[in-house]
Structure 1
Amino acid sequence: MKTKYKLLAVAGFSALTIALLSIFLYLSFQSFNLAIEYFMVGLIVTFVLNAVAAILLLSNSTSGQIARLHEGTKAIAQGNLDYKVGIQTRDDLGQLPGYFDERTEKLKASYFEDLEEKVSEKNKALMQRIEELDSEQQKNKEAEEKTLIEKTKDEATLTSIGEGVVVTDPQGKILVFNHAAEQMTNWIASEAVGRFWFETVPAMDEKGYLISREDRDMYKALTTGKKVFSQSIYLQKGSGKITVAITATPIVLKDQIIGAVQVFRDISHEKEVDRMKTEFISLASHQLRTPLSAVKWFCEMLLNGDAGELNPEQKEYAKNVSDSNERMISLVNSLLNISRIESGRIIVDPKPTNINKLISEVITEIKVKSNAKKQQIIVSVHSDLPLINIDPQLIREVYVNLLTNASKYTPPGGEISVFISKKGDELISQVSDNGYGIPKKDCDKIFQKFYRGENIIKIETEGNGLGLYLAKAIVESSGGKIWFSSSSGSQPKADAPLEHVLGGESTEEKDLPAEREGTSFYFSLPISGVQAKKGEVTLNS
């Protein structure tokens, strides 16, 4: 029953009660005034009671509706959009559940519409992501295949390459060891990888001494960050040894050395061929000395008139033959000396030597040619130089070659300077001239056998390009270094010695270069001297 009908029923019942009570009082007390008084009291009490009843009825009705609405709100919050309050009265409060249910229906419809739209959007996004993942997966697969192909190519290249290839980390631990390296060292890659290169494959120099870790090519590349070239003898696993040419290159990433690559090849056969060639040159040169000596003697006899007086024209012819023969003898002697040094058969016989006396003898020897060109020779020798334990014959050859070169490539009236000083534990010799200089393009080739600079070939047609090659070999075999500086060339470092060029006699002044800038040669020898070495022959023997 609706609340307002309940209230009317209570009011009617209260009015009937008051009427009956008034009649009862009038009959009982027969007093109209008293009945009126009691009637008024009853009316007030009834009004109060009705008011309380009305409040209670309204409160129960409202709280019930609110409770139902609360339950509905909780159900909807939990996702139950099908929940119905189910209460509806004609009063304002009673209409609220209906309005609540109506809004719930609209919310449900809107929710499902939004949900469908969201599901559609999610499905599209999901399909798009699936397509992206498929594309990325395909790209990754292609990248993996490409990487695998590149790796296979690299492995095939490393396997097929004829040179040994070793890759190490910054500490020198082997990371890569190819098939050629296996064959040349007798190590298996699976055994070598993970080991330290310096310990796995020891190296020796040409004299048979083990090379320390700090002097190994790979170590220099790792510590200096520069490419290193050299030759060494590798000791193979088990037994045996092999001569190799080495190139060690650092691996640099973002200015950090992360490892090194060393490529080496077997040059044992090349060394053997070179040795045989040297022996052949030595034998041929030695055999040539006998007929050349005979030609020399006969030329001297002709020029001295032993076979009768020669007329001027005949003397000129005999003189030309003698000069050409002398140049041939000089070339043969140079070839013999080089072959002796390269073969290791040269005798090194060090003796306490007075450098001042030695250089004076050499200058006296070349003075004839320098005087003919009116050249001035200046000599300065350190006054407190001790006697140095060197092979005077070998070092004499170095001074002769340098001073002969200086005189030959300095024009008439030029100046040649010789300075000998002591620097630390080294003896430094400097031979300077104000001649034609060395072109920059020739600086890295001067040390090669038989090489002559282009500027010198135009000036001096004669020469064999062996003198300074021999000087370098002698200096280095004596524990020293040789280098040069030239105004028309470049300034090499002391640890990268280079040579000057060789040539013959001067041509006319009109053929000379416009500028004469000069060259200075330097070579160092240890003050402590050199060690004796047994051999079979000496220079010019």
Structure 2
Amino acid sequence: MRISFRYKLMLSYLLILLVMGGSVFFYLNRTLESSIIATLKDNLLSQTRLASLMLSRDAGKQSDIPALAVSLGKAVTARVTILATDGTVTGDSEVRADQLHELENHINRPEVQGALQSGYGTSVRYSATLRHDMLYAAVPVTHEGRIDGVVRLALPLSSLVSVRSGLHRTLGTALLFSFILTLIFSYILSRLTSRPLQQIASIASEMGKGNFNRRLPTGWHDELGDLAVIMNEMAEKLDDQLSRLTSERNRLDAILSGMGEGLMVTDKSGTITLVNPAFCRLFKVYEGIIDNPISNISRHPALLESHDQVSREKYELINEMTIQTPEEKFLFTHWVPLLDENGMQGVVAVFHDVTDLKRLENIRRDFVANVSHELRTPVSVIKGYSEALLDGLIKESPDKAAEFVQIILNHSERLAALVNDLLSLSEMESPDFSFDMQSISIEGTVNKVCSLMKNRADSKGIRISVAEPGKGFTVVADQGRIEQVLVNLLDNAIKYSPGKCSISVTTEDDDEFIRVSVKDTGSGIPPASIPRLFERFYRVDAGRSRNEGGTGLGLAIVKHIIQLHGGTVWAENNRDGVGATFSFTLKKD
């Protein structure tokens, strides 16, 4: 059960009163009782000495002793007992003379022994004869220097009981009155005393909940005022420290969230205690990570072995690993043990996703290999035919020499086209590259390119038709680059279409875009090759493409141009199974 400080304070005041009142009560009770008994003893002893003198004067009148005892008892208002030196009762103010022989011998009474030995004796004891406590005083009766007997006076203590009861009532009344006054004043004082404490407790409770803006009043000129000053200073420091910690935590969260690398922290048992968003994205886990062992995130042997090795050897480790999440990813990892004076506390691991770098490295390697391959064939041909010409073929066979020169020219043009395409791609991938953007007419651009490609198409008996000419369609684009896109697409359509067929160019409204499509009636595209059509140097039929003079970069250039214009490009086989359609979109003006 909870008891408030105010009531504890009241109870303490009341307890102090009860302890002090009880102490005073018992002290006064015992002291007054002892004082009264001492006074009664002195008075009774004085009366006993007076009775002894009277008996000494009448010594020798043994027959008058019972009557003398009665008369003395009436005079001193006390029971008078006269004893012989052997303890025999010779007179008693409350016992008839004919009954004295029935009384027992009093020689062993303590007051009698005291009177015979030291000249007087007193005692307080219970009287079996009268059945209540009695105060006894005894003095020897002397005559001419000898002890003839002992006179004893007895006074009942019933009057002391009444005095004691009156004292108890007086003290009890005073104590009750003091208790009531103390209760009232203790309630008032406890409220006055506990009010600042309640205020301190209330504000301290708010501080405990994180509200450090509250302050205690400092007007109390006592220890509470000192406590208020200390708590205000503490709240100010805590508020400042909490602000700094919050700022540091927010900054750390921002750093962790902004890191491109995955970060993981584990304790010494391998349980994950901290990860950042990049780690979650990297391992494709978003819930139930914290407070779970690392084996629940990934069971890849290299990951678990690296963690165990760092935990065991307590040295940092740098390595590479490949994981499946489910796609394959290449990771460059850096493991560092967390050590302090108590030993190993955990492990920090940073995961760098180098998948794109690996892919770019593979692309670069493939690109170098493809360029080398594309250059090697025409260079070898040019070198071989040039050597033949230098060996005298020009003089020996001018017609054959002219044929060789034509071959050299064709391969030189192929090399020039390859270099030009490579330069175009390099130029478009440069961060400083920009288009000459202007509003152009799709209809005019399509018609212009079709006119340019007409002679090439006529040489194979191919008819180019423009369906849905897109009158009024305009886009913001680079005129020359869009013409380059259409030339590449029409050139491919002419190359891979059989003679005496048709190629159609259509322009359609596609919501926010204009869609331009080039449809041929050739052999179509193998489905497995469609996703790779726009890769550099990729050819569906490599031998035929080279024979046609292609560089393998045309569709890659088309993709770059359209994407840089904010559009998309794709290829698909025609639904009737004859030929394919290449389409691209451009935003409307």
Interval containing the TM-score (normalised by the shorter chain): 0.3 to 0.5
Greater percentage in strand: 2
What TM-score, normalized to structure 2?
0.36
User: Comparing both chains, which one has the higher relative contact order based on Cα–Cα distances under 8 Å and sequence gaps of 6 or more?
Assistant: 1
Greater Cα radius of gyration, structure 1 or 2: 2
